[in-house]
Structure 1
């Protein structure tokens, strides 16, 4: 676990914690506001969280070549996560626009 400095580890770990808390906040907002379509954003954020966990895992084990597949998985999940966030944004926009025209 000596590949990254302590401050770099702090950034990595705090980013994972912050992303997790953000997912929970969005989910809670959906519940409290009764705008359940916001849950799509929470679901869309999950691939990004798993991507970050892949990066932390790879660094935790000192970046061994035997875990190079984690780098590929992390990159793939980043792309997938960007797409799911885009789709979630579209779904929220569409759902909120439909809700406005219903009144």
Structure 2
């Protein structure tokens, strides 16, 4: 495996920073509107954030075989995160 290019690192790092910003903004929205459902959405975003951090960590160390468990962790957290985000989005639907 090879070290990532500078533009690829830029995309990875800014994506993580954007996700952190989105979590903070959703939390502030929940507080401002007093709607707890939005807090669930912010909480549901955390597994995807940790997944991205796992991928960046693996790349940071040049994708060594000794850290391949990070790839499994990243895949698992992506699966869990997508489920959490779907559940949180469902809670945001208006009552029928």
TM-score normalised by the chain length of structure 2: 0.95
Does the CA contact (< 8 Å) of 1:40 and 1:88 recur in 2?
yes
The answer to whether the aligner puts 1:10 opposite 2:10 as a matched pair is: yes
Moved more, 83-92 or 51-60: 83-92
- C-alpha distance in 2 between matches for 1:36 and 1:71: 33
Deviation at 1:36, TM superposition (A): 1.7
Q: For structure 1, which runs of at least 5 residues remain unmatched after alignment?
A: 99-103
* CA deviations over 1:31-62 (Å, ceiling 9, x no partner): 00111221000011000000000000000000
Say if 2:50 is the partner of 1:58: no
CA distance in 1, matches of 2:36, 2:25: 13
Runs of 4+ in 1 over 2 A off after TM superposition: none
**How do residues 11-90 of structure 1 correspond to structure 2 at under 5 angstroms?**
11-90=11-90
Number of positions where the alignment pairs a residue of Structure 1 with one of Structure 2: 95
| Structure 2 stretches lacking a partner, 5+ long | none
Q: In terms of Rg, which structure is larger?
A: 1
1:59 and 1:45 map into 2 onto residues whose CA distance is: 22
Q: TM-score, normalised by structure 1?
A: 0.88
Instruction: Return the alpha-carbon distance in structure 1 between the equivalents of residues 95 and 38 of structure 2.
Output: 13
